[in-house]
Structure 1
Amino acid sequence: MKKTLIAGLLLAAFASFAAQAQDATSTNNGGWSGSGEFGFASATGNSRSQNINGKLGLNQENEQWKNSFFLDGLRSKSQQSVVDESGATVEQFNTTANRYDGGASVGYKLDPRSYIVGAARYEHDDFGANLWQGVVSLGYGYIALKDDRNELSFEIGPGYKRYRPADTTVLVGDEQVRVRQPTESEMVARGLINYKFKLTANTSFEDTFLMEAGSKNTYLQNDAGLAVSMTKKLALKVGFQVRHNSDVLPGIKKMDTLTTTNLVYSF
């Protein structure tokens, strides 16, 4: 029920964004911009692997609104050596990563620098510390710096989080049995720092830091990316993501990293 509510909020926010964007297109840009990223790698021969990741972002900023929406996806398969029931070692092509997440924030400006922001985020990760997690929050945002080359903004406020830790396995006799973990919930403090820097006419850097701090678990995520434009619409981007959970079950690592090289289309 909670996951359905969060997903519904995200869909409603996206529908609102799309309607505003359509209205803005008929008259003027309305402060809307967006980008899509895609990366794919495949290996065959002595080893097999396939990796795919994609991102979609939509943003609006004008005199009244500071809004954003995003969808991310990651999937990977690779060849692995496993022992079958007969004790023989065989090669299998297994999924090793399967993650998708989406989020939206709606900011209403009080003045050119300050705004009230409502945000929602949902994530599903088959191989992460949490199988799924969803967060809704309400807070205050401030644009500390904005000029031709730099932009720095902060957001902070309380939120509510529900999540389900990853399943664990226990040995029952000679068989490994999966144990489903109960769903957790808690109040969190959400913080966001976003910095953009234009190095040259065709090279830009962006770093986004997210914190969701609670008494049971603190989630941290940092996304850094360097993009080099090839045309007005196309760019190559190198990205590095770090994700960290302060409290995880035994046998699960607290930190995950992801490095990507993607083709970016801006619109």
Structure 2
Amino acid sequence: MRRLFFAATALAAALPAHAEWTGKSEAGLVFASGNTNTETANARINMKYETDKWKNTVGGAALYASDENGKTANRWQTFGELGWKFTERNFLFGAGRYEEDEFSGFEYQTTLSGGVGRRFMDRPNTTMVGTVGAGYKFFETRSSFDPVTGELIEAGRSDSEVVFRGTLDFEHKLTATTSITNKFITESGSDNTFMQNDISLQVKMTDVLALAVGYGVRHNSSPPPEFKKTDTLTTINLVYDIK
């Protein structure tokens, strides 16, 4: 969580004063004590700067959870995309993503990519934007051990591969105060395919504050032995519009 806070602070300090950046930040906390002691925290920030020719986005996310036995989740990621519009609906992009996840089987995953995108729908209440491209992924896997004997099953390794990258972002306003968003990304290579889908229902309470209920699914097709392929996350967050 501290890494995401420091990264967001540094990003805000580096933004040009004249640039009209807008975005959203959200966070949620859960603490339980008594028969069980648990702590859960998640935070996200997404910033966007758009002109007639450019659409640039940067952001980050973090997740932490623990119980009586120790940490059960510890993940953070940063991402950014630079887009140049060559027609009203079509654009070229360059993107980067970095993440560390202590419980995914990967020490880190870094992807640099580029390609083309299109704004398929651009209505007052509905937008849908997709991209396709290719890039290069660098990653390091964690060592896996037998849960009974503790013997090493597979040693961690560093590797890289060419990947196909695709995204699809959808947003629809159900009412003046309620909206639904869905963000999908996939990075597919010969060694592993990473997919993530996040859907969120947001209800505005004021001009800048909203309550959001979200559900996310993350999938790695080939994690190291003893690590699960799929993780899910349900969140209830307070959202703040940055205008």
**Taking structure 2 as the reference length, what is the TM-score of the superposition?**
0.90
1:195: how far off? 0.6
Q: Aligned partners of 1:15, 1:64: CA distance in 2, in Å? A: 22
Give the alignment of 1:205-244 within 5 angstroms.
205-244=180-219
The one of 63, 68, 78 equivalent to 1:79 is: 68
Tell whether the 8 Å contact from 2:115 to 2:132 is kept in structure 1 after alignment. Answer: yes
Which consecutive segments of 4 or more residues in structure 1 shift more than 3 A? 13-17, 174-180
Identify the residue that residue 3 of structure 1 maps to in structure 2.
none
Q: Aligned partners of 2:11, 2:240: CA distance in 1, in Å? A: 20
Identify the residue that residue 90 of structure 1 maps to in structure 2.
none
1:171: how far off? 8.0
Alignment pair present for 1:254 and 2:243: no
Q: Aligned partners of 1:229, 1:180: CA distance in 2, in Å? A: 48
Q: Aligned partners of 1:106, 1:130: CA distance in 2, in Å? A: 26
Tell whether the 8 Å contact from 2:62 to 2:77 is kept in structure 1 after alignment. Answer: yes
Tell whether the 8 Å contact from 1:227 to 1:236 is kept in structure 2 after alignment. Answer: yes
Relative to its length, the structure with more helix (as a share) is 1
1:78-129 Cα offsets, whole Å, 9 max, x none, are 013xxxxxxxxxxxxx111100000000001101111110000000000113
Tell whether the 8 Å contact from 1:170 to 1:179 is kept in structure 2 after alignment. Answer: no
Distance change (3 Å), C-alpha of 1:115 and 1:15: farther
1:249: how far off? 2.2
Distance change (3 Å), C-alpha of 1:16 and 1:61: farther
Q: Aligned partners of 1:175, 1:162: CA distance in 2, in Å? A: 28
Q: Aligned partners of 1:129, 1:170: CA distance in 2, in Å? A: 14
Specify every segment of 5 or more residues in structure 1 that has no aligned partner in the other structure, as ranges: 1-9, 81-93
Tell whether the 8 Å contact from 2:107 to 2:139 is kept in structure 1 after alignment. Answer: yes
Identify the residue that residue 49 of structure 1 maps to in structure 2.
38
The one of 175, 193, 200 equivalent to 1:200 is: 175
**Taking structure 1 as the reference length, what is the TM-score of the superposition?**
0.83
Distance change (3 Å), C-alpha of 1:258 and 1:171: closer
User: For the aligned residues, what is the CA RMSD?
Assistant: 2.2
Specify every segment of 5 or more residues in structure 2 that has no aligned partner in the other structure, as ranges: 1-6
Identify the residue that residue 149 of structure 1 maps to in structure 2.
125
Partner of 2:52: helix, strand, or coil? coil
Identify the residue that residue 3 of structure 2 maps to in structure 1.
none
Tell whether the 8 Å contact from 1:14 to 1:104 is kept in structure 2 after alignment. Answer: no
The one of 70, 88, 102 equivalent to 1:126 is: 102
- In structure 1, what residue type is equivalent to 2:131? E
The one of 2, 15, 18 equivalent to 1:18 is: 15
Tell whether the 8 Å contact from 2:55 to 2:83 is kept in structure 1 after alignment. Answer: yes
> Number of residues paired by the alignment?
235
Distance change (3 Å), C-alpha of 1:42 and 1:171: closer
Identify the residue that residue 87 of structure 1 maps to in structure 2.
none
Task: Say which is worse superposed, 105-114 or 243-252, in terms of deviation.
Answer: 243-252
- Point out the structure with max Rg over C-alpha: 1
Partner of 1:249: helix, strand, or coil? coil
Q: Aligned partners of 1:266, 1:245: CA distance in 2, in Å? A: 32
Task: Say which is worse superposed, 235-244 or 62-71, in terms of deviation.
Answer: 62-71
Q: Aligned partners of 1:168, 1:40: CA distance in 2, in Å? A: 31
Partner of 1:148: helix, strand, or coil? coil
- In structure 2, what residue type is equivalent to 1:71? G
- In structure 2, what residue type is equivalent to 1:142? R
1:176: how far off? 4.7
Tell whether the 8 Å contact from 2:107 to 2:142 is kept in structure 1 after alignment. Answer: yes
Partner of 2:15: helix, strand, or coil? helix
Identify the residue that residue 49 of structure 2 maps to in structure 1.
60
Identify the residue that residue 88 of structure 1 maps to in structure 2.
none
Alignment pair present for 1:182 and 2:157: yes
- In structure 1, what residue type is equivalent to 2:229? K
